[in-house]
Structure 1
């Protein structure tokens, strides 16, 4: 088939790699003048790792990323309220934290090597669904295709989203990992004060072979406060961070300019119809959510693999798209619900929810089933999403 994909992000590139490798003629259209990712670090969970191994690039992920064995969240006074250990699911289960640019490079190479064409400076603003063609910002259209894949993310023009933005986002910046300061090279560490002040540090591997291990530092910030933060001298903001987390000083020393940070905004929304004729939404185009569970990239990878599998198993395209939705629907619903439930506990103006969190999280974690449940939730394996794909 001839397949057009809008968006050269994680979902789009993964889908391009799978589908081109299966023999389809694939073209990816992206608005950027040059292929490049946006953002800092992310965690490729066991679900996402399975997808990358299916693409035969799992070894590249392991080589470039940092193994995570634990998520360690504590209050300002050092009390642990989040303790997620992957080994509760098995000794060979772990997360891999990686710079977005490194993961992007792995997927871009996989798509290109599979034979997918990738066109830059092609901003998709709509579609001629009758003739199955994307419409670009310059008025031109893509060639007629058998299938259009919307991997344009949260701001896709194909899904109407009103008032779905979350009030809190996060500042993200990269710094050398402070290996000598008591931070674990295999853990994501966080500090919380209420639900509107928090910071985190996560090892994300290296961009180049032989380079020092990097860390992603993030800080919760209300979207309405971002402009004020830009106007605040950086040293004053650092003082606020250090009051919460003095041990973060070595990482903060790396930042000398506001431009070293990217501000990420988040939203929560699920498209009512993941398939419209021969247009199918994948990744954030279908299901956008906050990053509290670290599932965004992994859900996108699962979508790409599931779509490829469905097209492989069904000769009729409409039947394949229906099978794709059926395969992914329950897992998407489950994690959208969990994300909606947990986001206010960690990013909101609520005083009651974080108070309950700080009081109850530790004693609840002692129940015999909780370590495995928490690990499965973070690993993305609740609902057994890989069952029908492997």
Structure 2
């Protein structure tokens, strides 16, 4: 199907929405992106862009700019909470030369995507709160101002609270996982290498990695608790609460936490992967289709994959309906597998003292020493998949 002149509205100016707008525009579509905020921007946070996500950014023509702004990751290092001693490491240098793994500030990724979209001719319309989306031969969006606009396709990239997700799939209340997470940025200590450090402790773990050439370090700290915390990571908390939760951690952790001045807390909730990703002239992607827990760092990467496949499936189909069906067929199983794997991952970092933790850490240490490529090989299905080269 030729997309020249094909009119598209994309709702949401995050990673998935901007990438979809750029990918569809690259196929010839006429794209308008609607964002409810006053600017296309993001507050401070870090992202891990694994090779499957980098492949999409390369295909969008943004690889050089992303590499210039990101930190090339060298390894993922699993460490004991007591003293920071390394248990094992996943050497990312063993990845093939064309498979890059980057640490990137979310705001930098948003900037690059937005600049690319503007340069390609995507119309970015701000302060556009979408209150309704209608299916049909000419699907439409309705804004809070009461303006109704139709197009050939409407894409819902508006996150976990997506109106279009609810319209397509009905209500599905999320389930609290019994875990909360803090996110913070601190000035980068000179001795933090280009690695993701995962300090593993009883019922909690803390991840740190450098951003912007080491000028900053991104912190994500997860704790198991019974008390509920609101979903969404824009909720502020006091740094002393974070420091108290990780007071038993040693190594580099006390120094990193001492530097925290501004921190956000959010509850981690499980959402089902959407059953329906498309309707009559409408489609969802990213968190609107498959919200995922952060334990594989794949939220942004899956959204980038969705964006590319949506544009590719439409361009390769004879009709809009066939293209949307192909998009879901190519994406849903992989997204569901990734979401399930992320949901299973947290417990590995939270083992309590005792024989199970001793055995688990010993097995990881032996694997890292005698079969250093085995841990990385376990992620081939994830990192090695390149949606831009799918047949």
Distance in 2 between the 1:247 and 1:307 partners?
A: 43
Mind listing any 5+ residue stretches in structure 2 that lack a counterpart?
A: 1-5, 166-170
TM-score normalized by the length of structure 1: 0.85
Structure 1 residues 314, 347: closer, same or farther in 2, change over 3 A? farther
Paired residues, number: 372
- Please, which of 70, 78, 81 is the counterpart of residue 75 of structure 2? 70
Greater alpha carbon shift after TM alignment, 169-178 vs 260-269: 260-269
CA deviations over 1:297-317 (Å, ceiling 9, x no partner):
111001111111112222411
> Which one of 4, 7, 13 corresponds to residue 9 of structure 2?
4
Q: Which residue of the partner structure matches residue 209 of structure 1?
A: none
1:277 shift after superposition = 1.9
Q: What is the Cα-based RMSD across aligned positions, in Å?
A: 3.0
Q: Are 2:255 and 1:244 equivalent residues in the alignment?
A: no
Deviates more, 1:295-304 or 1:113-122: 113-122
Corresponding residue number in structure 1 for 2:294: 291
Answer yes or no: is 1:169 the counterpart of 2:180.
yes
With over 3 angstroms needed to count, the CA separation of the structure-2 counterparts of 1:368 and 1:177, relative to structure 1, is closer
CA distance in 1, matches of 2:255, 2:372: 37
Match of 1:255 among 234, 256, 260: 260
Is 2:362 the counterpart of 1:376?
Answer: no
CA distance in 2, matches of 1:82, 1:14: 35
> Partners of 2:372 and 2:236 in 1: how far apart?
49
1:18 lines up with 2:10 in the alignment: no
What's 1:88 paired with? 94
Measured after TM superposition, the shift of residue 100 of structure 1 is: 0.4
1:329 offset after TM fit, Å?
2.8
CA-to-partner distance for each residue in 1:118-149, whole Å, 9 max, x for gaps?
112222233121341123334433x1111110
The answer to which of 279-288 and 71-80 deviates more is 71-80
**How many angstroms does 1:386 deviate by?**
4.6
Deviation at 1:203, TM superposition (A): 0.7
For 1:302 and 1:347, the matched residues in 2 are separated by 30
Aligned to 2:33: 28
From 46, 53, 74, the equivalent of 1:48 is 53
CA gap of 1:370–1:3, structure 2 versus 1, over 3 A, is same
Q: SS at 2:172's partner residue?
A: coil
Q: What is the deviation of 1:326?
A: 2.1
Q: Distance in 1 between matches of 2:353 and 2:127?
A: 43
Q: Partners in 2 of 1:343 and 1:146 — Cα distance? A: 42
* Closer/same/farther in 2, CA of residues 162 and 111 from structure 1, 3 Å limit: same
Equivalent residue for 1:187?
195
Alpha carbons of structure 1 residues 140 and 232: separation in structure 2 relative to 1, 3 Å: closer
Output the CA distance in 2 between the equivalents of 1:272 and 1:98: 31
Note the 1:269-348 alignment, pairs <5 A: 269-346=272-349
Aligned to 1:154: 160
Task: Please give the TM-score of this superposition, normalised by the length of structure 2.
Answer: 0.85
1:137 paired residue number: 144
Q: What is the distance in 1 between the residues matched to 2:206 and 2:292?
A: 19
